[in-house]
Amino acid sequence: MGFVIAIDGPAASGKGSMAVRLGKALCLPVLDTGLLYRAVGVAVEQAGGDLDDETQSAAAAARLDLDDLESEAFRTRGAGEAASRVAVHPAVRAALLDAQRRFAAREPGAILDGRDIGTVIVPEAPCKLFVTATPETRARRRHLQLRAQNDPVTFEAILDDIRRRDTRDADRAAAPLRRAEDAALLDTTDLDIDAAFDAALRIVEASRGRWETS
Ligand code: C5P
C-alpha cells in the first residue's frame, strides 16, 4: 500500500477542504466518499424511490458511475440528508466498498475523506485524522457556503440538519461515525482554514516520517 491518508469526521468539520489542499500539497489523488452516498441518495430520489428501502438504495449504489460525481445536485442540503439515509443500509455500504478500496490502493498513495475510512475502508492506512468542530461552528460554516449559493436557509435549520445527521451517522449499526483508536484528533473549532491545514500537514508529515522508516 502507498501512503494513504484517511480523514474522517462529522459534516462540515473542514475535512473536505483539508483533503483537497493536502492532495495538492502532496500530489495525491483525493476521493470525497460523501459524494458517493450523495449520488446514491439523489439517484433514488430522482427515480421516485424510497431512501429507507435497502434494496432500492443498494441497486442505485451498484449502478453508480464513479466518473460522474461532479454534479452540483450532490452538494445541496437535501442531498446531504438523502445521503445519510441511504448510508445506514449495509447493502449500500457493501456496494461502495470495492471502489473505495481500489482508489486507496493507488500508487504512490491516496487521500480519502468520509466517516468510516480509518475504521472500515482502510483500517491499515499509515495516516489517520479525525477532524471535528462544535456543531455550532460547523453550522456557521455550512450556512456561509449555502448563502453564497443563494440558498435562503437559516442558521437554525442548518444546525438542526447537522445535529440530526450527526446522530444518524454515529448511531447507525453499519460503520458508524467514530474515531479510530490510532487516528489523530484535530479539533478545528478555533482554527481558520489555513491554521487547520497547517495542523493537518504537521500530523501528516509526522506519520509519513514514521511510515517511511517502518
Ligand atoms: O461528507 P458528506 O456530508 O458529503 O456525507 C454525506 C453523508 O454520507 C454523511 O452524513 C454520511 O451519512 C454518509 N457518509 C458515510 N460514509 C462515508 C461518507 C459519507 O456514511 N464514508
Q: Is 103 left (phi over 0), alpha (psi -120 to 50) or beta?
A: alpha
Model pLDDT for residues 163-172, shown as the tens digit of each residue: 999 999 999 9
- Find the 148 Cα to ligand 1 centroid distance in Å: 22
Strands 184-187 and 109-114, by their bridges, are unpaired
Sheet bearing 109-114, strands edge to edge = 30-32, 109-114, 3-8, 127-132, 184-187
Residues with CB under 6 A from ligand 1: 11, 33-34, 37-38, 80, 83-84, 87, 114-116, 165, 169
Name the β-bridge partners of 185.
130
User: What number does the ligand 1 atom closest to the CA of 168 have?
Assistant: 12
- Find the 8 Cα to ligand 1 centroid distance in Å: 10
Q: Which three cell numbers stand for residue 108?
A: 504512490
User: What number does the ligand 1 atom closest to the CA of 84 have?
Assistant: 12
Residues of the chain predicted below pLDDT 50: none
Q: What is the pLDDT of residue 149?
A: 82
Q: What is the pLDDT of residue 9?
A: 97
Identify the DSSP state of 204. Answer: H
What crossing angle do the helices spanning 77-86 and 155-171 adopt, rounded to 10°? 10
Question: Considering only CA atoms, which of 116, 101, 167 is closest in space to residue 9?
Answer: 116
- Find the 88 Cα to ligand 1 centroid distance in Å: 10
Q: What is the pLDDT of residue 103?
A: 96
CB 94 within 8 A of CB 14: no
Q: What is the pLDDT of residue 30?
A: 97
Q: Please report, for the chain, the start and end positions of each structural domain, with discontinuous segments joined by +.
A: 3-213
Q: What is the pLDDT of residue 125?
A: 98
Cα 41 from Cα 61, distance rounded (Å): 9
Q: What is the pLDDT of residue 155?
A: 97
Identify the DSSP state of 119. Answer: I
Q: What is the pLDDT of residue 98?
A: 96
Model pLDDT for residues 66-76, shown as the tens digit of each residue: 888 999 899 88
The protein residue with its alpha carbon nearest to ligand 1, atom 4, reads: 34
The protein residue with its alpha carbon nearest to ligand 1, atom 14, reads: 34
Candidate of 115, 128, 177 to mutate for ligand 1, largest count of ligand atoms within 8 Å of Cβ: 115
> Does 3-213 carry CATH code 3.40.50.300?
yes
